[in-house]
């Protein structure tokens, strides 16, 4: 049985694939979108994948940029630091700068 996250991921992937099949360009702005999903989607009709990686941006810059957003759209320093600790600080192999093959 799929988790809620699994169901959401399947829906997201199918939506992207459907749009690509019908000739639409798709932009995915998703922090947690995994490279495996992009590889799968890239196989659909030879879709060109352009990966924008921002993991080189210093955490202080991310926090400062977040403060420039309208208050209701701010993520917050705690969330930014938590994501940094989860994805970048402790596990260099988890860096998102790995381009899909």
pLDDT band at 90 (very low <50, low <70, confident <90, very high): low
For 13-65, how does the pLDDT look when each residue is reduced to its tens digit (9 = 90+)? 888 889 988 988 888 877 766 666 677 777 776 777 787 888 889 999 999 99
pLDDT band at 10 (very low <50, low <70, confident <90, very high): confident
pLDDT exceeds 60 at position 83: yes
Q: How far apart are CA 7 and CA 35, in angstroms?
A: 18
- Per-residue pLDDT at 32: 67
Which single residue is written with the structure tokens 């639409």?
24
Residues in Cβ contact with 81 at an 8 Å cutoff, skipping those fewer than 6 apart: 59, 63
Q: What is the DSSP string of 12-39?
A: HHHHHHHHHHTT-------TT--HHHHH
């Amino acid at each position: 049985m799929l988790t809620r996250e699994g169901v959401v991921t399947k829906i997201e992937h199918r939506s992207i694939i459907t749009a690509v099949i019908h000739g639409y360009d798709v932009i995915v702005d998703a922090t947690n979108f995994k490279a495996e999903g992009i590889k799968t989607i890239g196989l659909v009709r030879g879709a060109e994948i352009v990966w924008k990686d921002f993991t080189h941006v210093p955490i202080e810059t991310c926090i400062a940029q977040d403060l420039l957003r309208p208050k209701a759209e701010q993520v917050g320093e705690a969330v930014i630091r938590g994501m940094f600790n989860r994805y970048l600080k402790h596990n260099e192999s988890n860096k998102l700068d790995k381009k899909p093959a």
